[in-house]
Amino acid sequence: MATKKPQSSVSLQGRRRRWPPRWLGLLALVPLALLVWFWTPVNGYAQTGASYGARVACSCRYVAGRSLGDCRKDFEEGMGLVMLSEDAAAKSVTARFPLLASQTATYRDGPGCVLEPWDD
């Protein structure tokens, strides 16, 4: 006669574990949803900041004759991420907001520093 094992009311061996749990998958979607939600305003601020930085730095550099490093003093508070570079031959300054926006302003006799048109 075969002996039977007593059955436990809780058997861990028979249970299949799902990986990852559903809530973990939903939790992973939260950063993506926030990125989509805030993309338009953040991208707009980045484009505006880069455009402002290029225009101000170009005027500072080619109208006032100051160094590009000194032109950062003219930036508004909160523009610390905007990076500047210049093309002395073209008399232009490019401002970049990392990974989001870039804008170039070029000095012209008469109108002064003019931004390149935005791409829509």
| Residue 8 in domain | no
| Residue 29 in domain | yes
Range of the domain at 101: 22-115
d(CA 80, CA 112): 25
Per-residue pLDDT of the chain (120 residues; tens, 9 = 90+): 566 665 555 555 656 666 666 777 778 888 888 888 888 888 889 999 999 999 999 999 999 999 998 999 999 888 889 999 999 999 999 999 998 999 999 999 999 999 998 766
If one counts the domains in the chain, the total is: 1
Do you know the residue count of the chain? 120
Q: Could you tell me the CA-to-CA distances from 76 to 7, 30, 51, 83 in Å, in that order?
A: 73, 32, 13, 14
| Residue 57 in domain | yes
| Residue 11 in domain | no
| Residue 48 in domain | yes
